[in-house]
Amino acid sequence: MSELVRAPLPGSVRRGYALGGVATGAFGTVPGLMLLPYLTERLGVPAALAGVIVFAPKAWDVILNPIAGRISDNSHHPAGPRRPFLLRAGLTLAVAFALLFAGPATPQALAAGWVAVLFLACATAYAFFQVPYVAMPAELTDDPNERTRLMSWRVAVLALAILVSGGLAPMVRNTVGPERGYAAMGLFVAVLIAAGAIGAWWGTRAAPVAVVPAAPGGLRSQLALVAGNPDFRSLLITFVIQALATGAMLAGVDYVARHVLRSAGAGSLLFVCFVAPAIACTALWERVGARVGKKRGYAAASLVLAAGALALTSARSVPSVVVFLAVAVVGVGYAGTQMFPLAMLPDVAAEDAERSGANRVGVFTGVWTAGETLGMALGPFVYGLALAAGGYVSSTDSAAVQPESAVLAIVLGFSIVPALLTVGSLFILQGYLGPLARGKP
């Protein structure tokens, strides 16, 4: 890799790069939060089928993301190998997202097909935005500590984007009304996605970029080399399992608000309780990482998240304020579980480039984002299966009464399932050694 000066990145570059978190936060949050209820409540699609519709288009990214990474590795655009993707794919994603919730409501087969096709288009555009975006830190600086600072900025903006998009999306829907509320919400989120994509593209225009030759060989051979990296493998599996846990919780917010807290508006408050601590605690996790190391910090954040999720098992029998406090604890842990792995990934990719002299950063991040997308897609899918197992009644009538078993499934899918997944992922994390174990800074 060509040498980059080990100096702090300009503040404008940190802020500019972080703005991409607006796009990733909005798209990573709102479909997981709103798409399953849109299908089951607005369109009346059965819960199990709705889970498949939410899962299948994103599962496509498991195949597409590594390809997008390889394509961006071989890009030689004068504006930088990754930046042009941010603008083109980001704006395409915004348009597709606006159309996603603007389709017909009847007949049901046509409505469900519209969602499946448009969500597939969203997933495709997102792959070509997210993969180059996540690859950039390994090429902006060769200082692992600077990457942590860069990620702390990104996670803070990401958390704010989750707060704005996830908190306001249900409010926009509820304010406009059931007929046009989802379409208005989709347009609102599309504007956020476009603003984040343009901001990241413009804000990184003066960023330094390391020039590394693309690795020789085909995609299959590159994937085999990436899969053979034990640090990457352990970090990826841990993160994917936790993405599944987070995806399940996101999918459950609207159901918990309406059927456990008995207030559709409580969904926005749950999001505030989740994201506000994440914004406040990002800098704290950065200091924890500087003191104990990224791996231990990641484990500590995971345990905090799991503890908050476990406390939510009592959501039906405790005052609402206790539920909100438990969600706030989840938010504290979530900040660390986002910042640490995203700071560890470029360390692994940059070390591979230094050792091999070839650029596989895009392949690493392509596989990474594919795994993240798969985990986040599996979350609503698993939650939809839990609802189906509990006998959840899908209906366009918002006043439909749910059986006791369905309400129990709503709570368990929101609490015990994410908690167990998060704790279980830490056993996988033990396989990560990292640059420090090999004498690197």
CATH number, domain with residue 60: 1.20.1250.20
The verdict on residue 1 lying in a domain is: no
pLDDT of the residue at 441 = 40
Please give the single-letter amino acid code of residue 39.
Answer: L
pLDDT at 89: 94
Residue 326 — very low, low, confident or very high, per pLDDT cuts 50/70/90?
very high
- What is the pLDDT confidence band of residue 99, given thresholds at 50, 70 and 90? very high
Whether 5 is covered by a domain: the verdict is no
Instruction: Look at residue 79 in the predicted model and tell me its pLDDT.
Output: 66
* Position 315 in a domain: yes
Mean pLDDT of the chain, nearest integer: 83
CA 39 to chain centre: 21
Report residue 210's pLDDT band, with 50, 70 and 90 as the boundaries: low
Band (220; pLDDT cuts 50, 70, 90): low
Number of domains into which the chain is organized = 1
CB atoms within 10 A of CB 287: 11
Domain-embedded: residue 133 = yes
pLDDT bucket at 422, cuts 50 / 70 / 90: very high
The answer to whether position 4 is within a domain reads no
Confidence (pTM): 0.70
Compute CA distances 78 → 68, 87, 127, 262, 415, whole Å. 19, 14, 22, 55, 48
pLDDT in tens, 272-286: 888 788 777 878 888
Residue 2 lies in a domain: no
Q: What's residue 68's pLDDT?
A: 82
**Residue 374 to residue 361: CA distance in whole angstroms:** 20
- Is 397 a residue whose pLDDT tops 70? no
Domain enclosing residue 253, as ranges: 11-436
SS3 string, 132-184, reads: HHHHHHHHHCCCHHHHHHHHHHHHHHHHHHHHHHHHHHHHHHHHHCCCCHHHH
Establish if 419 belongs to a structural domain: yes
pLDDT of residue 250: 83
With respect to residue 217, please indicate whether it lies within any of the assigned structural domains.
Answer: yes
| pLDDT of 6 | 52
Give the pLDDT confidence of 246-256 residue by residue, as tens digits.
889 988 888 89
